[in-house]
Structure 1
Amino acid sequence: MKFNKVFKALTLTAGLAASFSSSAEFLDFTVDESAYGNGMVEADKINGGFVETIEFDGTGGFSAMAFATFTQFFSQDGTTTVTNSELGSSYVIYAMFEAEGTVESATLNGQPASILTGNSGAFTLYVDVDANTTANSDYSLNDSGDDIELGSSMTLGENIGYQVGPNGLFDFTFSDFDLTEAGSNYFVSPNPFYMTVNLNGDFDTFETANIQTTTGDVSAVFEDAPAEVPEPSTIAVLALGLLGLGASSRRKSAK
């Protein structure tokens, strides 16, 4: 694929992701990195990547587990990399996710699509103090004995996972986020800390059958109240633009 086609695809994918990001606020928070030879760091977004395994039951349901690693803080409404942080070098933050829900098939512009909605879900957030924890295929962990739990949520709110053609996007909101004592010593401001976490990003698409594993990118922001998840119709309009790009590229390739 030529560079300009790759660039256009990335640009449109970013536009799709922006439809999710625009639904969330970027509220400032402060972390204390004194345990890692640094001081206070202010940010409003955390970025990382994840691997996820989803098992479909063949009757419209699914269960999922995921391991996400966060290695970068952003500020200025999620637009500017925070350069004075040790995150991603001296230590990392990771999360273990699980969810159950339903999957629906759809068709957009003649292309197969699917919508995944979680009925229940939870996550736990940890700090990996020496940046060496990895996950096995069954999501058991290696080298996690010295990791520290920061907080967790057992309450999955509004959420959607959407895939059409080669494009997959998701937006999840978790409420009742509860910090541990160690978490309160790390996330030091505001106090009390935000109780809602909004997660969104993209993933490699997959067949909605049997057991599938996918990878993707994820961003996390904290909220005073649950963010509104974009309506499927809004996402569909943007997704159609991506489908149009694919059709145009195929026509040009055929000439």
Structure 2
Amino acid sequence: MTKLMSKTLAAAALAASLGFASTQASAAFLDFTVDEGSVPGAGANMFTADKLNGAYAEKITFDGLGGFSTTAYATMGQVLSNDGTTDISATTQLGTGVYKMYAIFSSSGNVAPSGPGFAFTGASGSFSLYIDPSNDTTFTLGADGTVLPTVTDAAADDYLIASTATLTSANGFLLTGVGGFFDLVFDDFLLTAAGSAYFVDPNPFHMRTNVDGDFDNFAVSGTQTVTGDVSAVFIPEPGSLALLGVAMAGLGASLRRRK
């Protein structure tokens, strides 16, 4: 058994035993419909999918007094259907790079020793989703987890399509010597007028975003830089958004970067 598989299975077993298993596993993927013709410069095209995939990077800082702060950016570029099993990116302008979708998000809370590791509890957070029609925006992480990423929009044409600052639940766990996971749940996930023109079904729009990645153990101190994968799926609860995974807890450097 590989090191990564051993760590993944151990973390999954721990998550299940603590009752923090991913909510994605317990909910069916729901279809959503996008009107890409609403994006300036994009051609007329509509697609129906049930999952978006991408990648993200974050900074997390521990204050040495039991608190943590994390900020991150993510880009979405892969489009899937059939419960996330069929890649339809080639039939979309998002998946072929005509334009870009990205998110800026943050969270802060407390961390404390718990059994064989550390428990994380979030107290506040925010999530904002944008469209970049020219696909030319770049990002730079802040100096630490209290500073939002710098967004450089060369064409000055990016626009907000959805946001929330209502964090209702945030829990995570780091198993010392193995790795860990994190689960954030947001309510009041609201589309802008431009967002409603882009996501045309379901109405009202509601989404869950699952963040996951390969991770290793780390010292709960100082400032860490983490990269990972991000996916977004719909859930039945209107206005609910969940961020799941190790990276929003800053749970160590990605194993992927070490290969």
TM-score by length of 1: 0.76
Question: In the alignment, which residue of structure 1 is the partner of 2:101?
Answer: 93
1:93 positional shift: 1.0
1:98-109 mapped onto 2 (5 Å cutoff):
98-108=106-116
Q: Which runs of 5+ in 2 are unaligned?
A: 143-148, 245-259
Counterpart check, 1:119 vs 2:123 = yes
- Once residues 201 and 103 of structure 2 are traced to their aligned partners in structure 1, the CA distance between those partners, rounded to angstroms, is 20
- Once residues 5 and 185 of structure 1 are traced to their aligned partners in structure 2, the CA distance between those partners, rounded to angstroms, is 46
Counterpart check, 1:51 vs 2:52 = no
Kept in 1, the 8 Å contact 2:73–2:103? The answer is: yes
1:133 positional shift: 1.5
- Once residues 38 and 47 of structure 1 are traced to their aligned partners in structure 2, the CA distance between those partners, rounded to angstroms, is 22
Counterpart check, 1:149 vs 2:160 = yes
1:53 positional shift: 0.8
Pick aligned residue for 2:233 from 205, 217, 221: 221
Q: Which has the higher helix share?
A: 1
Pairs aligned (count):
222
1:176 positional shift: 0.6
Q: CA 1:63–1:203 in structure 2 vs 1: closer, same or farther (change >3 Å)?
A: farther
- Once residues 185 and 86 of structure 2 are traced to their aligned partners in structure 1, the CA distance between those partners, rounded to angstroms, is 23
Percentage of matched positions with identical amino acids: 43
Let me know the Cα RMSD of the aligned residues.
2.9
Helix, strand or coil: the match of 2:196?
A: helix
- Once residues 140 and 158 of structure 1 are traced to their aligned partners in structure 2, the CA distance between those partners, rounded to angstroms, is 27
1:55-70 mapped onto 2 (5 Å cutoff):
55-70=61-76
Question: In the alignment, which residue of structure 1 is the partner of 2:247?
Answer: none
Kept in 2, the 8 Å contact 1:52–1:67? The answer is: yes
- Once residues 78 and 67 of structure 2 are traced to their aligned partners in structure 1, the CA distance between those partners, rounded to angstroms, is 34
- Once residues 214 and 32 of structure 1 are traced to their aligned partners in structure 2, the CA distance between those partners, rounded to angstroms, is 33
Amino acid at match of 1:140: T
Pick aligned residue for 2:169 from 129, 134, 158: 158
1:140 positional shift: 1.0
- Once residues 119 and 150 of structure 1 are traced to their aligned partners in structure 2, the CA distance between those partners, rounded to angstroms, is 25
Pick aligned residue for 1:30 from 33, 40, 54: 33
TM-score by length of 2: 0.74
Counterpart check, 1:184 vs 2:196 = yes
Q: CA 1:86–1:170 in structure 2 vs 1: closer, same or farther (change >3 Å)?
A: farther
Larger radius of gyration: 1
Kept in 2, the 8 Å contact 1:199–1:219? The answer is: yes
Amino acid at match of 1:74: L
- Once residues 10 and 55 of structure 1 are traced to their aligned partners in structure 2, the CA distance between those partners, rounded to angstroms, is 24
Kept in 1, the 8 Å contact 2:72–2:141? The answer is: no
- Once residues 127 and 94 of structure 2 are traced to their aligned partners in structure 1, the CA distance between those partners, rounded to angstroms, is 20
